[in-house]
A = this chain, B = another copy of it.
């Protein structure tokens, strides 16, 4: 059986400018692999309305589930919620359920729920809220898209809220053999083994360390016995 597929949309001027190095994508990739959901594509777009809308539409149509990160805070450059409503032709306004969550949170903290903070209660009409145990302001699910925060601690907490609700597949197991030879020497035997095991995926990821070439050969699959057998043959081939 094929595993469910997922895509991620990162809304991130700060990543495209090179100011920040993405952390959320790497985290989500690892979490999805563990529950057997295949992360098939990631797109990073700038904080531009048209770019966000067309990317989320394309990804939502192509994959089972989409995750977004970024752009749901209180400042003027946070336009993700409005873009999601537009992408799926829903109305958007301050919603009473989201407002109640914020009100309770800020009352407890003795902080004013001002106009800016209230923007975080703007949720598309038919969306379902995603709990945010870190800073209260919720994410939301619209169609098959999970809209989450960009701050890594909040993103992680939202992923934890959401993952148990998703149907996973067979976890993809991967084993790695590090070979201290150039890929040009590895390629022949590796290609033959990859052909002999069509049920597994074999990738070669070259590296250069202390001026010497090597490669991590990563074998992925869902059948542990088959994986072990292939790893034994690989080890023999490169002993």
Check B43 against A18 for contact (C-beta < 8 Å): no
Grouping DSSP codes into helix (H, G, I), strand (E, B) and loop, the A interface class, with mixed when no group exceeds half, is: mixed
In the complex, what distance in Å separates the CA atom of A186 from the CA atom of B119? 13
Q: Which of B15, B45, B153, B215 contacts A208 (CB 8 A)?
A: B153
Number of copies: 2
- A93 an interface residue at 8 Å Cβ cutoff? no
Give the total of A residues in contact with B, Cβ under 8 Å: 74
The answer, among B27, B187, B203, for a CB contact under 8 Å with A116, is B187
Mind listing 26 A-B residue pairs with CB under 8 Å?
A14-B205, A14-B218, A16-B29, A18-B27, A18-B39, A19-B174, A19-B218, A22-B22, A25-B44, A41-B44, A42-B43, A43-B43, A43-B44, A73-B187, A74-B183, A76-B187, A77-B194, A77-B204, A111-B182, A114-B185, A116-B187, A117-B184, A134-B208, A135-B208, A151-B207, A154-B208
- What residues make up the interface of A, taking CB atoms closer than 8 Å to B? 13-22, 25-33, 38-47, 51, 73-78, 111, 114-117, 119-120, 134-135, 150-151, 153-154, 172, 174, 182-188, 190-191, 194-195, 201-208, 213, 215, 218, 220
